[in-house]
């Protein structure tokens, strides 16, 4: 019997098999058929410490015994209060306030609405948003509007608002910085710049230097433009530091977090803002409040999972694990010596490479071929067209890493034939 489920980013017309998973542990995925797969992409970049981490699972179980869900408009609870204080302790200063939501896309929507509300409440409304070429910030309307236009959102163009776009940084980033300076000086003042710090995720794992990020922040500061850091993918150690902004010594006005916030166990997102942005919405006029919410804002069970994640970061050698994984990834990436594999690159625990393909883009025919190839070898690797990336949980062992990179090398030989 066919399934009634409509899967995301899946063309059901291709009739590709969809394995049913029974259980997960660490970097392992076990299907109902008894097969074991290695999760080489952290199940869409969310799982940091490993699947079903005992401390996070225990926190979830304990929380279900006392408080499951509470309206968060005008009410609060201990898991959310503790989490907010814990996040402010580790976040770049002067981020001082935490707004809860439920996904990376909604955390970006919140950030954009905060920025526009800030300027309106100051009596100087601004509407221009600056973005970076090839960026991706999610699939809700605002998030799509500030992302790259293309196959992802072609059908929804009538719904999207206009933005100003910076070119992706060249060798020294001068092209990007000059464009940002020009946009800040010409026309109505921009409200905000939103960027993925140092590496663009769905845009192709494109990496740019930390000094460019720092310079963009300084230009925004000079011209009074709010700086939004989308750390949904880059946060929680993926780039080798807790937050990617730390590589550049950058403190944003607004920062978006999700994915690894709960260790990847359960949906939760936050948007952190400075006191200045919070104060712009502070008034005895109810019309100046921040108008955003969802039914499950700051769900206590999700907050409990996130608090357990923070405890793991405080009490366990997570950065040592990240450093080890970074080194072990680099060793294996260096050994991928094939003319079929080009543009090898790495940032922290993330590696990426491209298979030679004259039609290399998201809809490249190589994508489905590579996907089937890797799945047949017991791997969850999800190529973006001809681009293959590896972003495993921090607990992954050497044997599984060898299996991943061995399959990539084998794929290169197979394609060459």
> 269 has which bridge partners?
101
Q: Given this model, what pLDDT does residue 152 score? A: 83
Q: What is the pLDDT of residue 36?
A: 98
Mapped onto helix, strand or coil, the DSSP state of residue 276 is helix
Quick check: 1 pLDDT over 80? no
293 band by pLDDT with thresholds 50, 70 and 90: very high
Q: Is residue 6 part of a domain?
A: no
pLDDT, residue 88, reads: 98
Those residues with Cβ within 8 angstroms of residue 104's Cβ, 6 or more apart along the chain or in another chain: 137, 138, 143, 230, 232, 233, 256, 258, 259, 269
Residue 71 lies in a domain: yes
Question: Quick check: 247 and 241 in contact, CB under 8 A?
Answer: yes
* pLDDT score for 358: 74
Mean pLDDT of 185-191: 96
Same domain, 22 and 66: no
What does the pLDDT read at residue 365?
A: 83
Bridge partners of residue 38, in order along the sequence: 28, 379
Residue 207: strand pairing partners = 199
Predicted pLDDT of residue 359: 72
* 227 shares a domain with 344: no
Tally of CB atoms within 10 A around 359: 10
Whether 202 and 13 have beta carbons less than 8 Å apart is answered as: no
Closest residue by Cα to residue 376 from 399, 346, 352, 407: 407
Number of domains in the chain: 2
Indicate whether 106 belongs to any domain: yes
Give all strands (DSSP E) within 68-169, no chain letters. Answer: 95-101, 128-132, 164-166
* Domain annotation covers residue 7: no
Last residue of a domain, one of 269, 297, 315: 315
* pLDDT at 172 exceeding the cut of 80: yes
pLDDT at 413 over 80: yes
Predicted local distance difference test score (pLDDT) of residue 350: 98
In a domain, 218, yes or no: yes
CA gap 390, 386 in Å, rounded? 13
Last residue of a domain, one of 315, 349, 369: 315
Residues 156, 318: Cα–Cα separation, whole Å? 41
Say if 163 falls within a structural domain. yes
Whether residues 250 and 149 share a domain: the answer is yes
Last residue of a domain, one of 289, 315, 341: 315
CATH of residue 159: 3.40.640.10
Query: What mean pLDDT value characterizes the chain?
Result: 96
Tell me what percent of the residues of the chain surpass a pLDDT of 70: 100
Q: Is the pLDDT of residue 306 over 90?
A: yes
Per-residue pLDDT reduced to its tens digit, 4-27: 999 999 999 988 899 999 999 999
Range with lowest mean pLDDT among 127-131, 275-279, 327-331, 412-416: 412-416
Question: Tell me, what's the pLDDT at 364?
Answer: 82
Residue 361 pLDDT:
74
Q: What confidence tens digit (pLDDT) does each residue in 315-371 have?
A: 999 999 999 999 999 999 999 999 999 999 999 999 999 999 877 777 888 888 999
Query: Is 5 inside a domain boundary?
Result: no
Same domain, 336 and 299: no
Q: Are the CB atoms for 279 and 121 separated by under 8 Å?
A: no
Choose the weakest-confidence range: 24-33, 143-152, 160-169, 341-350.
Answer: 143-152
> From CA 252, how far away is CA 272, in angstroms rounded?
9
What DSSP line would sit under 23-73, residue for residue?
Answer: EEEBTEEEETTS-EEEETTHHHHT-SS-BT-HHHHHHHHHHTTT------S
What CATH number does the domain containing 404 carry?
A: 3.90.1150.10
Q: Does 218 share its domain with 333?
A: no
pLDDT at 360: 72
Same domain, 326 and 257: no
| Tokens 């204080």 -> residue | 85
Q: Domain residues for 107?
A: 57-315
Confidence of residue 383 (pLDDT cuts 50, 70, 90): very high
My answer on whether 33 and 84 are in the same domain is: no
Average pLDDT on 284-307 reads 95
């Amino acid at each position: 019997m066919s399934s009634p489920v409509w899967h995301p980013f899946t063309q059901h017309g291709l009739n590709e098999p969809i394995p049913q998973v029974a259980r997960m542990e660490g970097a392992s995925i076990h299907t109902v058929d008894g097969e074991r797969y290695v999760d080489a992409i952290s199940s869409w970049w969310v799982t940091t410490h490993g699947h079903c981490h005992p401390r996070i699972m225990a926190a979830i179980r304990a929380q279900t015994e006392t408080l499951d869900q509470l309206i968060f408009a005008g009410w609060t609870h201990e898991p959310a209060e503790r989490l907010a204080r814990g996040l402010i302790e580790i976040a770049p200063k002067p981020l001082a306030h935490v707004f809860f939501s439920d996904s990376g896309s909604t955390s970006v929507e919140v950030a954009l609405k905060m920025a526009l509300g800030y300027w309106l409440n100051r009596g100087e409304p601004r509407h221009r948003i600056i973005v970076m070429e090839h960026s991706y910030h999610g699939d809700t309307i605002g998030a799509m509007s500030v992302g790259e236009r293309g196959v992802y959102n072609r059908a929804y163009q009538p719904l999207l608002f206009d933005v100003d776009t910076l070119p992706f940084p060249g060798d020294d980033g001068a092209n990007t910085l000059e464009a940002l300076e020009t946009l800040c000086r010409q026309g109505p003042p921009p409200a905000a710049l939103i960027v993925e710090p140092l590496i663009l995720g769905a845009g192709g794992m494109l990496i740019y230097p930390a000094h460019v990020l720092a310079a963009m922040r300084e230009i925004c500061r000079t011209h009074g433009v709010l700086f939004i850091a989308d750390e949904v993918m880059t946060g929680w150690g993926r780039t080798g530091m807790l937050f990617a902004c730390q590589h550049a010594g950058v403190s944003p006005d607004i920062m978006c977090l999700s994915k690894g916030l709960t260790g990847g166990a359960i949906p939760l997102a936050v948007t952190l803002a400075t006191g200045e942005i919070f104060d712009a919405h502070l008034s005895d006029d109810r019309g100046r409040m921040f108008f955003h919410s969802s039914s499950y804002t700051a769900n206590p069970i999700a907050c409990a999972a996130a608090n357990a994640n923070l405890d793991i970061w405080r009490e366990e050698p997570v950065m040592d694990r990240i450093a080890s994984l970074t080194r072990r990834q680099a060793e294996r990436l260096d050994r991928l010596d094939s003319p079929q594999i080009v543009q090898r690159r790495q940032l922290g625990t993330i590696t990426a490479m491209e298979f030679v393909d004259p039609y290399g883009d998201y809809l490249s025919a190589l994508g489905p071929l590579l996907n089937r190839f890797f799945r047949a070898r017991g791997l969850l690797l999800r190529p973006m067209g001809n681009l293959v990336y590896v972003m495993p949980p921090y607990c992954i062992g050497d044997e599984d890493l060898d299996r991943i990179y061995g399959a990539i090398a084998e794929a290169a030989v197979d394609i060459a034939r």
